[in-house]
Amino acid sequence: MKTDISKVRNIGISAHIDSGKTTLTERILFYTKRIHTIHDVKGKDGVGATMDSMELEKERGITIASAATFCEWNEHEVNIIDTPGHVDFTIEVERSLRVLDGAILVLCSVGGVQSQSITVDQQMKRYKVPCIAFINKCDRSGANPERVIVQLKEKLGHNAVALQMPMGLEIKFEGVIDLIKMKALYFDGSNGETVREEEIPSQYLEEANAKRDTMLDAISIFSDELTEALLEEKEITQAMIIEAVRKGTLTRELTPVMIGSAYKNKGVQPLLDGVNAFLPCPSDVENEALDTEENEKTVILSTDMKKPLVSFAFKLEDGQYGQLTYIRVYQGAINKGDTVINVRTGKKVKIGRLVRLHANHSEEIEMIPSGYIGAMFGIDCASGDTFTAPGLSLTMTSMYVPDPVISLAIVPKDNKSEMNMSKALNRFTKEDPTFKAHVDDETNETIISGMGELHLEVYVERMRREYNAEVSTGQPRVAYRETITQRADFNYTHKKQTGGSGQYGRIAGYIEPTDEGDFIFENDIKGGSIPTQYIPACEKGFKNCMAKGPLMEFPVTGVKITINDGASHSVDSSDMAFQAAARGAFLEGYRRATPVIHEPIMKVVVETPTEFQGTVMGTLNQRRGMIVGAQDEGVMCVIEAHLPLADMFGYSTVLRSSTQGKAQFTMEFSTYKQVPKNIAEELLKKAAENKKKAA
Amino acid sequence: MVKKEIFFPDPFKQMGENIPAAGGFGALTASAGIGKTAFLVRMSLSSLLRDNNILHISLNNPVEKVCLQYEEVFRNLAAQHKVKVSDQLWETILPNRFIMTFKAETFSAPKLEERVNDLTEQGIFFPRMIVLDGLPFDEAPRKTFTDLKSLARKHGVPIWFTVRTHRHAPPGPDGIPLPMLHVADLFEAIFELHAEGNDIRLQSVRK
């Protein structure tokens, strides 16, 4: 580990799906001699890229979990976290950007700024992470870096400044022109490992000069020396330019843009030079903690190793050697054997093993100094916990955890699977705060919730592979209700008098709908036709019927029962008899009271770019939705609708795919409403079939 | 099926024969605080109870506020006429109403047309009347109104506007409120609301 913190870079690589993050990381590791062979993400050799260590990742060719590694480039130590591109795994990006100092925003030169590019950009903004934009895949058909730079400006609002221009594009892509050095760069060798500098070919010279002028104009604002040199037509040195670009980048007022093709081994080494030159070292970044004893006053942390420890646990993995907690040290240092405090729990913990990570491998270290990321074994804690030296009252703000958007019911296939499923859920929910599991009180189903279908699919598959828990999944059951729509009389006699002690009770009265509560019982008995001591039993009998309605065994709501007559027997009447009578009376009255099924109606609010307003309204309309209104807010608009919960299953996927992932929605319970007749008939039919199967 | 009980007088009947037909414009004018929006909502409610689809456009108010305005006017009318209205009745008329809100500075007729087309082309909602609340007449150019007129004609709907007048500014020729002078010829009906003691009077300006 470097002692000179100015030569340390902690960077994340983030982007939309399939932009080339993992491929780029693979090349970085190769050129920095961290690995000796390049393997493709979904290569024919089946090995997979270094950072995709999970079997599922290799099989599917996607990054599921973020992976950390480190390397060295031109005397700088570069700690890298490669993150997933799918929004389903957004927590990995969130936690990585929380602890990193800089980032590379990878953009596909064909796809440009895509939906997850917008999300990761927002995440970088949230944590104020400076970034370099790398326009990748310039070898692909349709590559257009100029268009991507315009999108960076218009869609993401970046002050994007190109530091390079391509020499050829698509199949003719042969290298890049460095507008700072004004040299052409070619990448020779079987893996592009040798960077050859040449004079700019004549056909590109005019354009290169024009682009350099544009670049200098854009960055001069960050350097008085550069501005002066431009105005007075003095020599402009590379150092001046680099200093100006760095200054703009560190304050996030400028985004340097570099170009290449990681897959074709072009443009990666200059990008690494850019990381060293433009992205911050740990001491360039102002990190804050809150003083819990001073009303959460903000305290600026120092990278001084001599100061008391302040560190942040941002990821945990449960493994065979216990919990592995990824940690970023902001102030001081963590040494093996130290005693530190978990600020959230207040507990003291002794640090056992400390490691540094390279994908799924680790190497033992004695200490994690300030500005570095490492991991500790065997400490039980949660993501977002702050660890400090004893006596310190500082805590760090945690990362933002978005709410889940989709739920599934899961059913284990057998008892063994049930136990294993439970263990798996405990572990996964601990490791991933966006993955939640609970048992529904009403339906008794185990419900898992996550950020998307892929998210849940991956966990179900991991349950199967890692825990041998076979589960089946399905739509969560909707919590329907039953109620009545009109008043109906009842007059029921419960009689069992066949010899010996019998049972007798008669209850008369009426059942009617009410708005005033779920269940109201009124005693209107006159003249003691039902003895007072049996009235509570009557009420209990009626109330017990409310839990499972006669129609479909859904809870009954909005019912008022008034009893006004009855009869008892001096010997055979009892609490039990009147409870039974109440049950019979309830069934009798209920059937006559035109019972109906109610379904939960949700208030759904969709936020979407205005261009998709019509499409979104169409998706809501298709789901028996009643659109309340649409609120235009310039670039975005907000649509409010009321939809039955039963029709919301899978909506997040539909919304994403119909709006290129740019729309989001929230959903909350609004009210219960009567189910349309045809749906009620379907439900009744299904319930009858299920009963038959069960019988 | 819930029977829609029309429990308050039809405000359109009170307006006499001056109601614009499909493609026509109507205006409710008054100074601030008199109750233009409330009357507009009352007109909408009357139409909703008669199973007519209303597109309510509000400038500078959120959807939620417009919803609350409807609820308030509805409950007040029920209380005024001593009628107990069920939640079911309210639920029955809601699907006939669609609210759109815009910021006044970015509102335009072409934008509105696009939004209305989104609804009609997908069979989501076909308005029978449009009410437009909050358009600043003294700032809106004539073109806005001619474009809205084309929209009204295309969809075969009348559009009712609220027009804020200034308390101390006298009307123009023929009693036309000053903010409307440049577009008055486009309007088939102009009504003024003014306070008289505890009452609010509705009076036709354009005959």
User: Can you tell me the distance from the alpha carbon of A48 to that of A27, in angstroms, rounded to the nearest whole number?
Assistant: 13
**Which residues on chain B are in Cβ contact (under 8 Å) with A632?**
100-103, 106-107, 111, 115
Q: Are residues A464 and A373 in the same domain?
A: no
Q: Are residues A332 and A418 in the same domain?
A: no
Residue contacts between A and B (CB atoms, under 8 Å): 61
Q: Is residue A688, in this structure, part of any structural domain at all?
A: no
Which one-letter DSSP state was computed for residue A261? B
User: Can you tell me the distance from the alpha carbon of B13 to that of A501, in angstroms, rounded to the nearest whole number?
Assistant: 74
Question: pLDDT band at B189, cuts 50/70/90?
Answer: very high
Query: B-contacting residues of A 621-650, CB under 8 Å?
Result: 621, 626-634, 638, 640
Q: Are residues A45 and A148 in the same domain?
A: yes
Q: Are residues A489 and A584 in the same domain?
A: yes
User: Can you tell me the distance from the alpha carbon of A385 to that of A346, in angstroms, rounded to the nearest whole number?
Assistant: 11
Instruction: Report strand pairing: A626-633 vs A559-567.
Output: unpaired
Optimal mutation site among B57, B70, B94, B98, interface A, most CBs of chain A within 10 A? B98
User: Can you tell me the distance from the alpha carbon of A82 to that of A68, in angstroms, rounded to the nearest whole number?
Assistant: 6
User: Can you tell me the distance from the alpha carbon of A442 to that of A7, in angstroms, rounded to the nearest whole number?
Assistant: 58
Which one-letter DSSP state was computed for residue A404? P
Q: Which domain holds residue A453?
A: 406-474
**Which residues on chain A are in Cβ contact (under 8 Å) with B91?**
673
Residue A629 is nearest to which of B91, B101, B107, comparing CB atoms? B101
User: Can you tell me the distance from the alpha carbon of A614 to that of A625, in angstroms, rounded to the nearest whole number?
Assistant: 14
User: Can you tell me the distance from the alpha carbon of A123 to that of A169, in angstroms, rounded to the nearest whole number?
Assistant: 31
CB A602 within 8 A of CB A645: yes
Which one-letter DSSP state was computed for residue A309? P
pLDDT for B149? 96
Domain boundaries, chain B: 19-165+178-204
Which of B131, B68, B140, B62 shows the shortest CA–CA distance to A633?
A: B62
CATH number of the structural domain spanning residue A465: 3.30.70.870
Q: How far is CA B74 from the centre of its chain?
A: 15
Pick from A538, A563, A593: which residue ends a domain? Answer: A593
Which of A489, A548, A505, A542 shows the shortest CA–CA distance to A520?
A: A542
Optimal mutation site among A599, A632, A673, interface B, most CBs of chain B within 10 A? A632
Which one-letter DSSP state was computed for residue A622? T
User: Can you tell me the distance from the alpha carbon of A335 to that of A353, in angstroms, rounded to the nearest whole number?
Assistant: 9
Q: Is the pLDDT of residue A555 over 50?
A: yes
**For range A643-657, the mean pLDDT:** 89
pLDDT for A617? 94
What residue type is A129 in one-letter code?
V
CB B151 within 8 A of CB B112: yes
Instruction: Report strand pairing: B129-133 vs B159-165.
Output: parallel
Other C-beta atoms closer than 10 Å to the C-beta of B86 total: 11
Q: Are residues A110 and A219 in the same domain?
A: yes
Q: Could you give the ipTM of this predicted complex?
A: 0.89
Q: Are residues A224 and A92 in the same domain?
A: yes
Pick from A337, A369, A395: which residue ends a domain? Answer: A395
Q: Is the pLDDT of residue B3 over 60?
A: no
CATH number of the structural domain spanning residue A50: 3.40.50.300
A617 with B118: Cβ contact below 8 A? yes
User: Can you tell me the distance from the alpha carbon of B52 to that of B96, in angstroms, rounded to the nearest whole number?
Assistant: 7
CB A341 within 8 A of CB A347: yes
For residues A349-385, one letter each, b for 16 or more C-beta atoms within 10 angstroms of the residue's C-beta and e for the rest, the string is bebebbbbbbbeebeebebbbbbbbbbbbebebebbb
Which of A493, A434, A484, A437 shows the shortest CA–CA distance to A463?
A: A437
Q: Are residues A442 and A525 in the same domain?
A: no
Q: Is the pLDDT of residue A3 over 90?
A: no
Rg, Å, chain B Cα set: 17
Which tens digit of pLDDT belongs to each residue from B40-78?
999 999 999 989 999 999 998 889 899 999 999 998 888
Q: Are residues A114 and A183 in the same domain?
A: yes
**For range A260-275, the mean pLDDT:** 96
Burial class of residue B173 in the structure, from the number of CB atoms within 10 Å of its CB (0-12 exposed, 13-18 middle, 19+ buried): exposed
**For range A77-106, the mean pLDDT:** 88
Residue A626 is nearest to which of B95, B100, B111, comparing CB atoms? B95
**Which residues on chain A are in Cβ contact (under 8 Å) with B99?**
628-630
User: Can you tell me the distance from the alpha carbon of A194 to that of A266, in angstroms, rounded to the nearest whole number?
Assistant: 10
Question: pLDDT band at A242, cuts 50/70/90?
Answer: very high
Q: Are residues A412 and A530 in the same domain?
A: no
Chain B residues within 8 angstroms (CB to CB) of chain A: 56, 62-64, 66-67, 87, 91, 94-95, 98-103, 106-107, 111, 114-115, 117-119, 121-125
Optimal mutation site among B102, B120, B130, B131, interface A, most CBs of chain A within 10 A? B102
Q: Is residue A434, in this structure, part of any structural domain at all?
A: yes
Which tens digit of pLDDT belongs to each residue from A393-439?
899 988 888 878 778 899 999 988 999 999 999 999 989 999 999 99
Question: pLDDT band at A524, cuts 50/70/90?
Answer: very high
Q: Which long-range contacts (CB under 8 A, 24 or more apart) does A359-364 make?
A: A359/A50, A359/A51, A359/A53, A359/A67, A359/A68, A359/A69, A360/A53, A360/A54, A360/A67, A362/A324
CB B137 within 8 A of CB B164: yes
Question: pLDDT band at A462, cuts 50/70/90?
Answer: very high
User: Can you tell me the distance from the alpha carbon of A374 to that of A364, in angstroms, rounded to the nearest whole number?
Assistant: 10
Q: Is the pLDDT of residue A556 over 90?
A: yes
Residue A628 is nearest to which of B87, B99, B123, comparing CB atoms? B99
Which tens digit of pLDDT belongs to each residue from A334-349?
999 999 999 999 999 9
B124 with A621: Cβ contact below 8 A? yes
Torsion of the alpha carbons at A282, A284, A290 and A293, rounded to the nearest 10:
90
The nearest CA of chain B is from the CA of A583 a distance in Å of 30
Q: Is residue A686, in this structure, part of any structural domain at all?
A: no
pLDDT for A42? 63
How much of chain A, in percent, has pLDDT values that exceed 90?
A: 58
C-alpha torsion sign, points A189, A191, A195, A200: positive
Residue B106 is nearest to which of A626, A632, A673, comparing CB atoms? A632
A617 with B124: Cβ contact below 8 A? yes
The nearest CA of chain B is from the CA of A684 a distance in Å of 21
pLDDT for A46? 63
B121 with A638: Cβ contact below 8 A? no
**For range B12-30, the mean pLDDT:** 84
The DSSP-derived string for A411-454 is: EESSHHHHHHHHHHHHHHHHH-TT-EEEE-TTT--EEEEESSHH
How is domain B19-165+178-204 classified at the CATH fold level?
A: Rossmann fold (3.40.50)
Nearest residue of chain A to residue B61 (CA atoms): A631
Q: Are residues A206 and A322 in the same domain?
A: no
C-alpha torsion sign, points A246, A250, A256, A259: positive
Query: What 3-state DSSP class applies to A127?
Result: coil
A322: tokens are 């216990």
The mean of the pLDDT values for chain A is 90
Which tens digit of pLDDT belongs to each residue from B132-166?
999 999 899 999 999 999 999 999 999 999 999 98
User: Can you tell me the distance from the alpha carbon of B179 to that of B137, in angstroms, rounded to the nearest whole number?
Assistant: 5
B100 with A629: Cβ contact below 8 A? yes
Which tens digit of pLDDT belongs to each residue from A143-187?
999 999 998 998 888 999 999 999 999 999 999 999 999 999 999
Q: Are residues A185 and A262 in the same domain?
A: yes
Q: Is residue A433, in this structure, part of any structural domain at all?
A: yes
Query: Where are the extended beta strands (E) located within A199-346?
Result: 255-259, 288-291, 297-300, 310-319, 322-331, 333-335, 339-342
pLDDT for A694? 67
A37: tokens are 């062979």
User: Can you tell me the distance from the alpha carbon of A551 to that of A150, in angstroms, rounded to the nearest whole number?
Assistant: 61
Query: What 3-state DSSP class applies to A556?
Result: strand
A627 with B124: Cβ contact below 8 A? yes
Cβ of residue A614 closer than 8 Å to a chain B Cβ? yes
Q: Are residues A566 and A504 in the same domain?
A: yes
Pick from A350, A376, A395: which residue ends a domain? Answer: A395
Q: Is the pLDDT of residue A624 over 50?
A: yes
Query: Looking at the 3D structure of chain A, how many domains does it have?
Result: 5
**For range A535-561, the mean pLDDT:** 92
The nearest CA of chain B is from the CA of A322 a distance in Å of 51
- Put the strands of the sheet holding A297-300 in their side by side order: A297-300, A288-291, A394-395
C-alpha torsion sign, points B14, B15, B17, B19: negative
Which one-letter DSSP state was computed for residue B135? -
B126: tokens are 């076909």
User: Can you tell me the distance from the alpha carbon of A180 to that of A679, in angstroms, rounded to the nearest whole number?
Assistant: 68
